[in-house]
Amino acid sequence: MTYTIKTEKNEWEIVCGLEIHCQIISKSKIFSGASTEFGDDANENVSFIDAGMPGMLPVLNKECVRQAVKTGLGLNAQINKHSVFSRKNYFYADQPNGYQITQYEYPIVGKGNVKIDLSDGTSKNIGITRIHIEQDAAKSIHDLNPKKTYVDFNRAGVGLMEIVTEPDFRSPEEAGAFLKKLRSIVRYLGTCDGNMDEGSMRCDASISVRLKGEQGLRERAEVKNVNSVKFAMQAIESEAKRQVEVYEQGGTIEQQTCRFDQATGQTKFMRKKEYADDYRYFPEPDLPPLDLTDEYIENIRAQMVELPDAKKERFMRDFNLTAYDADLLTESRETADFFEKAAKGHDGKKVANWILGDFFARLNADKLTLEQSPIKPEMIGQLVDLITNNTISGKIAKDVFALMFETGQSPIKIVEEKGLKQVTDSSQIEKIVDEVIASNADNLAAYKSGKTNLFGWFVGQVMKASKGSANPQMVNQLLKDKLDK
């Protein structure tokens, strides 16, 4: 889905690649034993290694390695059995060593691909260039004092996976779809929690523009540390429009680093972008090369969970769902598991309708998470069965659902205790129909004279008289037979 920017003279297209920093889920940091717990008091979880104290030697956390391999497999990527750690040299207040331990020439994960689905019904494969693992920097805090910057080192040394894509994005929508898909995959895998608002998943976007039909790449600008899918899409569009304006006025784009101002929706210049040579990479002398065996990789592969794409296809096949419904239900592993438990042995399509409709609407209204729901998945399957076998009507089901949410009771128990079973005895319904017709002679005469829209009124009166318990199909048929005599 190509997004173009049209001016009076030209038509421009976006060329964009992403670098996504995903904090690795592990109990301790990548090179030290300090805790990775989020939300603790500032500078509480800091070891001598994290603080860059002289003589401290890093020790690689094997869980971070396993999580990176698992992520690579989830992104259909090549796992490199030989990788090397390097020092990326730069000085900044949040980098206590004056360098970052990362991977450069030899990353742990090589090329892969991720399929994204777009709003126009098309799909596109996005190339993964590499994944390397590294240590996170500390967190600089600028808003506590107008004259000072504070630094919290709790984040320093937390394991990161940097996921680098090919420059395959041609629209903000494609970038947004990829970020959502990547977040879903790492959450399924349990390798990153994907919480962009907490900073555990952060996005850098490298953006350039070129004339439509032009080959090759022009100079790019990188927008750093965008913390939501929405803002990433806005940043890409804003920066692309800025670059087009510069070119249209006869200017040139320098390689630069920008930030995205959420208040104005604009990108702002920060500094000229460094090149790789500026970082003076060299192999980390305190860590040996990382060598993995085939057996190690295959053991991780054997433990992989079913990922969103495979689950989506299975839901469409086994439960007769539309691609749209299956996409919504598989976006999170928790939702997919809830649906599958609810649909087991029941009409999957009807179960999906209830979950995506009334159930999610009520959760949102009450500001509850799926885990906090008083309704268990099996209850929704039971409710669908009660409607399907005509025990209750669709209208009564709405009332039963509300009681399920309020009480946490099963629909079967509610229907029994409240006497809500649908009346399917034709003689009982016929008696109510006869009483309604007999007591509304004027409307009966009007109906027979041609005002057939009164039929719905008669149906409503019968349902009202039966307190909603009469089978609607039987009511309709009996009324039709009697009114059309």
Q: What is the DSSP string of 178-218?
A: HHHHHHHHHHHHTS----GGGTSEEEEEEEEEEETT--S--
From 269, 300, 331, give the residue that closes a domain. Answer: 300
Of the segments 121-130, 253-262, 388-397, which one has the largest average pLDDT value? Answer: 121-130
For residue 355, pLDDT over 70 is answered with yes
**What is the pLDDT averaged over residues 105-126?**
94
Q: Are residues 178 and 291 in the same domain?
A: yes
* Mean pLDDT within 380-386: 96
Query: What CATH code is carried by the domain that includes residue 476?
Result: 1.10.10.410
- Residue 276: the pLDDT is 61
If asked whether residues 130 and 171 sit together in one domain, one would say: yes
Report the domain count for the chain: 3
pLDDT: which is higher, 413 or 427: 413
pLDDT of residue 479: 81
Query: Is the backbone of residue 305 left (phi > 0), alpha (psi -120 to 50) or beta?
Result: beta
Do 464 and 351 belong to one domain? no
Same domain, 322 and 376: yes
CB distance 289 to 108 below 8 Å: no
Q: Let me know whether 64 and 196 are in one domain.
A: yes
What is the helix (H) or strand (E) element at residue 222, kind and residue range?
strand 221-226
Confidence of residue 8 (pLDDT cuts 50, 70, 90): confident
For residue 482, the model assigns a pLDDT of: 76
Please check the confidence at residue 1 and state whether its pLDDT lies above 70: no
41 and 16 fall within a common domain: yes
| CA-wise closest residue to 26 among 14, 15, 38 | 38
- The predicted pLDDT at position 9 comes to 85
Q: Does pLDDT of 262 surpass 90?
A: no
Where does the pLDDT of residue 47 fall: very low under 50, low under 70, confident under 90, or very high at 90 and above? Answer: very high
Out of 274, 300, 326, pick the residue that ends a domain. 300
Which domain covers residue 317, as residue numbers? 306-418
Lowest mean pLDDT among 288-292, 323-327, 421-425, 460-464: 421-425
Residue that terminates a domain, selected from 402, 418, 434: 418
Does 218 score more than 80 pLDDT?
yes
pTM: 0.85
Asked if residue 323 and residue 276 are part of one domain, the reply reads: no
User: Is pLDDT of 10 > 70?
Assistant: yes
**Same domain? 315 vs 278:** no
**pLDDT, mean over the chain:** 91
Residue 84: pLDDT above 90? yes
pLDDT in tens, 272-287: 766 566 778 999 999 9
Instruction: Specify the 3-state DSSP secondary structure of 157.
Output: coil
Residues 158 and 286 in one domain: yes
Assess whether pLDDT exceeds 90 at residue 101: yes
Q: What is the pLDDT of residue 422?
A: 65
pLDDT of residue 151: 92
- Is residue 110 located within the same domain as residue 252? yes
| Sequence-ordered list of residues with C-beta below 8 angstroms from that of 359, at least 6 positions apart, any chain | 373, 375, 380, 401
The better pLDDT of the pair 9, 466 is held by 9
For residues 48-59, average pLDDT: 92
The pLDDT of residue 275:
58
Are 279 and 244 in the same domain? Answer: yes
Q: Which two tokens stand for residue 159?
A: 């394991």
Choice among 222-236, 359-373, 416-430 with the minimum mean pLDDT: 416-430
Q: Which DSSP helix (H) or strand (E) runs through 151?
A: strand 148-152
Residues 210 and 84 in one domain: yes
At 462 the pLDDT is 75
Instruction: Using alpha carbons, list the distances in angstroms from residue 243 to 158, 261, 264, 361.
Output: 35, 17, 17, 42
C-alpha 314/C-alpha 311 separation (Å) is: 5
pLDDT band at 198 (very low <50, low <70, confident <90, very high): confident
